[in-house]
Structure 1
Amino acid sequence: MIASPNGADPAEAAAFLAAHPQVEAIDIVLTDANGIGRGKIIRRHELEGLYRNGRHLPISILGLDICGEDVHETGLIWDQGDGDLRAWPVPGTLRLLHGTDPARAELLMSMYHLDGAAMTSDPRHALARQVRALAAQGLHPAGAFELEFFLLDPQRGADGRMRPARAVLDGRESRKTEVYSVDHLHGMEPLFSDIYRAAEAMGIRAETVISEYAPGQYELTLDYRTDVMQAADDLIRLKRIVRMQARRHGVTACFMAKPDADYAGSGMHFHVSMRDAIGRNVFAEGAGESFRPALLHAIGGLRQTMGEAMLVFAPHANSWRRFATQSYAPVSPNWGVNNRSVALRVPAGAVAARRIEHRPAGVDANPYLVGAVVLAGIAKGLAEAIDPGPEVTGNGYDSPADLPIPPDWRSAIETARASAFLRDALGADMHRTFTAIKAAEYARVARTVSEVDFDLYLHSV
């Protein structure tokens, strides 16, 4: 048996198999730079051996673009001879999948070199690195992600556009913005019941569901975690749950940032706070106090670094269509209190729960990388006592932008490549891998002749 570098214990596998004799197979899932689950489905008899010895996987699995094609510029393909590394189970992540027949389970994996060193183009290691850096200073981040998404009809309309899914309860159709409509949610109740059951089986505390600000758009919130790695795991797993259960009910779950040009896009807001060694929230002010310097400096760091990190928050061509005024997506690195028109919001609520709601990331972003970059921005703000500048009140879309952010995807890629902050936040390997993948994807999109080209130019030039 090879010693696991992350504490994976074969006893966990044995106990799970004993408790779930009906399980026949297990999805082993490694998350790549785009947040896509890559891996295998193994049979029941292989599980304990996986915990004892890990599983060889090609290094190239972490150097793939959104289509699953090799990106040679990552240095993870032929530069390495596409050799195998060893993936290990993430302790505590072996969970039963709901609604599968025959029964299956799911297990998160993380990549290591053959000598046991962390393979630092694995996004989980980027977040773990920032968590360790804060822990060395006696600080422990807590947080939760919000999940916004669309439920769509699998078939497009006669006009070629995506359509909101019909209610799975009775087939009723609505193309209205049913924001906060409880009756509208009732039509999707069988699907959401299965989502909640699947989340419970995974140990995920999925909470409130609402009908969001576009036809067919919904939001699920997640319980606040004292461990931000677990918060990111929750988000990754909940996306897979929603996609799987939606498919079983005959609808398509869409996690594009902006699937409809006429309506709001989908965000992945990250709520984050910081606790000290005895569990006190260092962002929470005392009775009669104004905001704590730690909170303000954290906001200052996030504001100052946001432009360099926008590629992480908006990683795809479609991501950039989400940013528009009056859209509930931020267009400037501003901050405010109880204000949804800003990028960094201090929510109303109990002082003990004081936190920052980081709003730039789309639902298409990788939560491990978002978490790593947000924590690095907070750490920089705390270390350098960065002034956040004046709070924005009223309409944040009308406030002047005093700090630059890239205007488009190509600019964000160039900014990210040149950013020393982002290189340090992600680690040199993850930074190289991520920016190389994004550059390759940009080239793919740029050379594609789209229907828009024909519509604009076919009979005009």
Structure 2
Amino acid sequence: MSTSPELWLREHPQVRTIRAAACDLNGVARGKRMPIASALKTLSDGTKFPMSVLSLDIWGEDIEDSPLVFETGDRDGLLFPTERGFVPMPWLEAPTALLPIWMFHEDGRAYDGDPRHALARVSERYTAKGLTPVVAVELEFFLIDDSGRHLQVPVSPRSGKRRKAAEILSIRALDAFDTFFTDLYEYCEIMDIPADTAISEAGLGQFEINLVHQADPLKAADDAWLFKQLVKGLARRHGFAASFMAKPYEDYAGSGMHAHFSVLDRTGKNIFDDGTERGTDALRHAIRGCMDAMHGSALIFAPHLTSYDRLVPDAHAPTEICWAYENRTAAIRVPSGPPPSRRIEHRVSGGDVNPYLALAAILGAALNGLEDKKMPPEPITGSAYAQDLPSMPTDWASAIEAFDKSEQVKRVFPQQLIDNFLLTKRQELRDMDELTRQEQVEIYLDTV
């Protein structure tokens, strides 16, 4: 941030309460409410809560067989503010700010179970090679009336009507919720979230907002994490829900978080650009790295039971491990455009992902590919759904096992995070099986 956190508080005297929160493995904000005096102490001395808190299950329960709980006495980690500083929370009634924090050991070492540290590790690998990833994400979400037994599109505040139709790139659909989107853009500016264009999408009450590219993966992930909190909080203030759940409606496309990235060298040149539409060998090396890691990383891109409802053929989501130029049926797309902006679009992640883990998995795999210097297969043409291609795991249990066995995953993530994530997902898999579909939807609708 441009000013110090202490100065920010002095410049915003109306803010009287603080939420200090870290991102857990499911992308949920975990932390404390505190007065200004405690927040000031946190800036210098940090704050503590149990290390186990960053790997709770989706219900916020301890992982029963985690060594972080009873085996080690549920010991504390020490959390310090990230470089983001204080961020307003304008969807709340009282003037409040969020202080993003991340976890360390008492001796100052980064805690390997913190997803933000996982992305920082990947970013540091790029820096060591004189490379800078430039990253942007597109976030799709649904506006939903969840007041009744069945989910449906909210009533438009403008017309008082409920239009039950998917309207791709419809200005009318955007205008129907104009007050919501007007507030959303205003609050993004207040929170320093670089929101770009908004469109209506293919699902009922589904929209997408692009965030502007950042030459800092941590800033890009911070923006996405904060954006999801803002959208969900603001929607409730407007009288309906917003959800990044992968696929709340069976008969309509689900929501993704597409990630776009290029890589700059020390001189600021895009290493994917060779002056043509084809791009460089480095482009193809990065693509190969992403493809090699895709099967094992599916649990990162589709982390929940209902994530796999989205990953089905002919539903605008990738199911096969392949790449292509300007082809949205492929898992990896190379968009057209001027050669200096040549980039990769990774299309696998659902809207329900943890942005830190997703970007770490994507950028880490791409860097593995740049190191290995292997070529991918030829790009596909036509529909990926109609071709015999390697596929990603089709269900949650298979993705958990693939994640456990993947050597590519081990090249990207520290072993402690892998172990914690597996324990968390296996407990959720066991407990979700006891719930009805409606109960499953209810837990995911607000949390992810």
- TM-score under structure 2 length normalisation: 0.95
Is 1:435–2:427 an aligned residue pair?
no
Q: Corresponding residue for 2:442? A: none
User: Which sections of structure 2, spanning at least 5 residues, go unmatched?
Assistant: 440-448
Q: Corresponding residue for 2:445? A: none
Q: Corresponding residue for 1:416? A: 403
Taking a change above 3 Å as real, the CA distance of residues 99 and 318 of structure 1, as seen in their structure-2 partners, is closer
Instruction: Please tell me the root mean square deviation across aligned C-alpha atoms, in Å.
Output: 1.7
Is 1:110–2:102 an aligned residue pair?
yes
Picking from 253, 278, 300, the partner of 2:267 is: 278
8 Å CA contact 1:63, 1:76 repeated in 2: no
Is 1:129–2:121 an aligned residue pair?
yes
- What is the Cα deviation at residue 72 of structure 1? 3.1
State the distance in 2 between where 1:338 and 1:450 align.
36
Question: 1:45-444 maps to which residues of 2 (within 5 A)?
Answer: 45-156=37-148, 160-286=149-275, 288=276, 290-401=278-389, 403-444=390-431
Q: Secondary structure at the match of 1:144?
A: strand
Q: Secondary structure at the match of 1:47?
A: helix
Q: Secondary structure at the match of 2:4?
A: helix
Taking a change above 3 Å as real, the CA distance of residues 447 and 184 of structure 1, as seen in their structure-2 partners, is closer
Write the deviation string for residues 372-422 of structure 1: whole angstroms up to 9, x where unpaired: 111121112111112111111121211221x34222110110111112221
Aligned partner of 1:162: which letter?
L
8 Å CA contact 1:168, 1:249 repeated in 2: no
8 Å CA contact 1:98, 1:197 repeated in 2: no
Is 1:446–2:433 an aligned residue pair?
yes
Q: Secondary structure at the match of 1:78?
A: coil
8 Å CA contact 1:23, 1:104 repeated in 2: yes
Aligned partner of 2:31: which letter?
G
State the distance in 1 between where 2:309 and 2:141 align.
15
State the distance in 1 between where 2:189 and 2:227 align.
10
8 Å CA contact 1:336, 1:392 repeated in 2: yes
- What is the Cα deviation at residue 25 of structure 1? 0.9
Q: Corresponding residue for 2:13? A: 21
- What is the Cα deviation at residue 450 of structure 1? 5.4
State the distance in 2 between where 1:262 and 1:212 align.
14
- What is the Cα deviation at residue 27 of structure 1? 1.6
- What is the Cα deviation at residue 98 of structure 1? 2.2
- What is the Cα deviation at residue 12 of structure 1? 2.1
- What is the Cα deviation at residue 166 of structure 1? 1.4
8 Å CA contact 1:26, 1:107 repeated in 2: yes
Name the count of aligned residue pairs.
Answer: 439
Aligned partner of 2:408: which letter?
F
8 Å CA contact 1:176, 1:215 repeated in 2: yes
8 Å CA contact 2:279, 2:339 repeated in 1: no
8 Å CA contact 2:277, 2:336 repeated in 1: no
- What is the Cα deviation at residue 155 of structure 1? 1.6
- What is the Cα deviation at residue 215 of structure 1? 1.2
Aligned partner of 1:234: which letter?
D
Larger radius of gyration: 1
- What is the Cα deviation at residue 451 of structure 1? 7.3
Q: Secondary structure at the match of 1:220?
A: strand
State the distance in 1 between where 2:199 and 2:268 align.
31
State the distance in 2 between where 1:202 and 1:292 align.
37
- TM-score under structure 1 length normalisation: 0.92
Q: How many percent of aligned residue pairs carry the same amino acid?
A: 37
Deviates more, 1:86-95 or 1:309-318: 86-95
State the distance in 2 between where 1:382 and 1:359 align.
20
- What is the Cα deviation at residue 21 of structure 1? 0.8
Aligned partner of 1:435: which letter?
L
8 Å CA contact 1:13, 1:47 repeated in 2: no
- What is the Cα deviation at residue 289 of structure 1? 7.2
Q: Secondary structure at the match of 2:227?
A: helix
Write the deviation string for residues 94-142 of structure 1: whole angstroms up to 9, x where unpaired: 1222254321111111001111111110000000001111211111111
State the distance in 1 between where 2:412 and 2:157 align.
43
Write the deviation string for residues 229-273 of structure 1: whole angstroms up to 9, x where unpaired: 111111000000101110000010011101000000000001111
User: Which sections of structure 1, spanning at least 5 residues, go unmatched?
Assistant: 1-7, 453-461
